Structure 1
């Protein structure tokens, strides 16, 4: 079975394609690739999330890599993906690995590669590791002989408290005292993921749900989108919380709920953070967005005189630009956003705490902060539909789109962008249709100036034959 890295790492169904055997091949390829790195003497950092067998998979990867003479700094417990990314430059390491399938359903696990700068590894290096893993000779696999305990005794595997390192960093970058002293009432849905038991370390008064180990995630995919956050959206107004936050399986994405229990979609989160960092924090630099991010960001950037780069889906593309150009903020539609004052990486808890800080510093409710944006640039409504489908139907739709569309649901198409899927622009909105890079499905994204218009276009699009 071929190992394939998608938009955000290699993912597979546990025991079907995500097996110890395949993991061995990827780990050897990782060790051989990074052995050439100038910082390899400091080793690689490895972390893992709360999924089924994640700890065992991480220990196996550490064992394989250390068998090839590469030092491993292994997290002493589950931790958020950004904790691994943060630790890599802190320890001056060559790179890192995170065992996680992020927001995928519970039956999946995955393998993310991190670069020495503390963000997703660059595409060309991921391709090299992937190619090497797929042609791994049996003779290399047979070199894995020493056990985890033997390598630990030799000092080639060292356990590190990455969670503490991460919490201390958040304390230094967010005005935690201002949030605590304000009496802001915060509810956090940890979604049984790696972000659990962290927020209360920083804000003891915060209330956290789904804050225990449950590898099946309660039967809900740990993705912080409206359809998965019903309990949080009900809890916030019922118990009079000021804000609801949600983080995904590896806590690198943020979802937000205002004081009325309304989901604040990631498009709006990106926009309010852009405004806060530019106007209140005084940050400067360009803006990066992936193709699924909407027009609110463009309109604000134009107002501030900032250049906008639009890239294919996948934060690895955003991160590469963040370390090569002067980028203030960059992100995706999925709630993954990076800021120049932090690491070139998505970080759900950092962003969630920044939203709390924003509410406190501005002295406004979250709903008022969103309304303020609408007053400046006009109303924007957004929705995404994920359609699980067959390979033949998916290809049929993609062939239809390739031929082009003159209109979508009766709205004239003004232009088309094809850097990742098919993005059709019409007056005051757009429709994007693309195949997922990590799951067998089609994604339909739409933004417009009226919610009924969004629903009409999406209904038309999912029935496109």
Structure 2
């Protein structure tokens, strides 16, 4: 068995790669890591989402942790990933484990490691865990387990409500009274996931969709993308609501629908919240974004004279910057956004509440807030498409692009290249095209941003031509 951690954790299809046996091996390697790093005595926090068998998988990890002498606080119910991260931070635990496959289709489950600072495991950490897995398999390392019932009786494993301290943190960070007083009519779609119940509990009167238990997620991957939020959009229009918020399967990513019932992307959310933090809260700090995130962030940084960091795709890279620098806000195209004064972690629920706070303070809808900013810095349109590509074609394309020679795209002169993660071509007017072959899937992703929707489509077509797809 070869274990590889992706952008955030190890994931696999349940009963194929993600089995109790494989999970036990990964859990043992993780405990070996915590012990070697001197973190075991501080204990471990374990949580899980609402996927098929997630609770049982979490209990198995607790058994392995207890069998290796670690004290465990195991969530007594499903809980958001940011709640587990906050529990690690607040309790001073040595680390945490979250059983979730996030936004992946229902047949998947996954294993996320949280480090003692309350954020996703850094690449340097997951590389070591991968090496320990391989060494343990080669050496026939025994998996040490203590049956859960025995661990509970002996106190090695304790059940706790991971949601309660997290809700208290949200109440401290966000002006809930201001939001409640504004009376913004809203709907929330947790997409059958671990964020169910959290926003309506904090903002009474919020309508919640898809809150029942459904490990199949209604046949839709729990990802808050435009194609998955038709029901939320329709509800906002039909009931004349002010906003719709959507969370992914473990509630660490955010999506939204504006006052017109139109999809409000992560780029737009990033822009609106960054402006809110700067102007309404008076905060300052550097900003971090991934290579596929909107140029609107760049322009706001120029406007407010803020340092901007750009990273490869994956919030783990932003997390590292948040640990080493004074980062006001960091974000990625997929809806993972984090803010200063919390934990170095993306948090869909907190970011949703900050959107409501921005609306409550200004009395404006999301689209109005975005348009106010774009009227100052320029109007931008964005789209990403995912295309199937076989391994040979992907390798040929990578070789071709690495060799250089792409001087014009869609009859436009390339002004700048950025090959930090994929192949990004930037034009004189600020528009850009990113060609990014997936490192783990037979998929080619094309991203484009420009001043008009027509130019976005033109650049995407040109990207397909370059790829021969």
Coarse TM-score class (shorter-chain normalised): over 0.9
Partner residue in 1 for 2:434? 432
TM-score (norm 2): 0.96
Partner residue in 1 for 2:422? 421
Partner residue of 1:451 out of 450, 453, 458:
453
Question: 1:408: how far off?
Answer: 2.1
Q: Alpha-carbon deviations, 1:41-65, whole Å to 9, x = none?
A: 2201111111111111111111112
Question: 1:337: how far off?
Answer: 0.9
Provide the rounded CA distance (Å) in 2 between the counterparts of 1:437 and 1:332. 17
Provide the rounded CA distance (Å) in 2 between the counterparts of 1:22 and 1:321. 32
Contact 1:7 1:437 in 2 (8 A): no
Provide the rounded CA distance (Å) in 2 between the counterparts of 1:348 and 1:143. 35
Question: Does 1:264 pair with 2:253?
Answer: no
Provide the rounded CA distance (Å) in 1 between the counterparts of 2:140 and 2:243. 52
Are residues 437 and 336 of structure 1, via their aligned partners in 2, closer, same or farther at CA, if it must alter by over 3 Å? Answer: farther
Provide the rounded CA distance (Å) in 1 between the counterparts of 2:42 and 2:261. 47
Partner residue in 2 for 1:10? 10
Question: Does 1:396 pair with 2:396?
Answer: yes
Provide the rounded CA distance (Å) in 1 between the counterparts of 2:365 and 2:452. 23
Question: 1:153: how far off?
Answer: 1.5
Partner residue in 2 for 1:44? 44
Q: Alpha-carbon deviations, 1:280-315, whole Å to 9, x = none?
A: 111111111111112100000011010101111111
Question: 1:140: how far off?
Answer: 6.2
Contact 2:25 2:143 in 1 (8 A): no
Deviates more, 1:128-137 or 1:55-64: 128-137
Provide the rounded CA distance (Å) in 1 between the counterparts of 2:264 and 2:448. 16
Are residues 145 and 229 of structure 1, via their aligned partners in 2, closer, same or farther at CA, if it must alter by over 3 Å? Answer: closer
Provide the rounded CA distance (Å) in 2 between the counterparts of 1:441 and 1:2. 21
Q: Which runs of 5+ in 1 are unaligned?
A: none
Question: Does 1:33 pair with 2:10?
Answer: no
Question: 1:8: how far off?
Answer: 1.3
Q: Alpha-carbon deviations, 1:71-127, whole Å to 9, x = none?
A: 111111111100011000111011111111111111111111111111111211110
Provide the rounded CA distance (Å) in 2 between the counterparts of 1:304 and 1:334. 25
Give the secondary structure class of the aligned counterpart of 2:393: helix
Question: 1:17: how far off?
Answer: 1.0
Q: Alpha-carbon deviations, 1:205-231, whole Å to 9, x = none?
A: 000111111111111111111111111
Partner residue in 2 for 1:410? 411
Contact 2:28 2:144 in 1 (8 A): no
Provide the rounded CA distance (Å) in 2 between the counterparts of 1:325 and 1:373. 26
Question: Does 1:181 pair with 2:188?
Answer: no
Partner residue in 1 for 2:214? 214
Contact 2:96 2:113 in 1 (8 A): yes
4+ residue runs of structure 1 moved beyond 4 angstroms? 138-141
Provide the rounded CA distance (Å) in 1 between the counterparts of 2:368 and 2:118. 34
Q: Alpha-carbon deviations, 1:325-375, whole Å to 9, x = none?
A: 111111111111111121111110100011011001011121110101111
Q: Which runs of 5+ in 2 are unaligned?
A: none
Contact 2:253 2:337 in 1 (8 A): yes
Provide the rounded CA distance (Å) in 2 between the counterparts of 1:30 and 1:409. 49
Partner residue in 1 for 2:444? 442
Deviates more, 1:245-254 or 1:142-151: 142-151
Give the secondary structure class of the aligned counterpart of 1:346: coil
Question: 1:40: how far off?
Answer: 2.7
Give the secondary structure class of the aligned counterpart of 2:241: coil
Alignment of 1:159-308 (within 5 A): 159-308=159-308
Provide the rounded CA distance (Å) in 1 between the counterparts of 2:108 and 2:396. 27
Question: Does 1:108 pair with 2:112?
Answer: no
Give the secondary structure class of the aligned counterpart of 1:70: coil
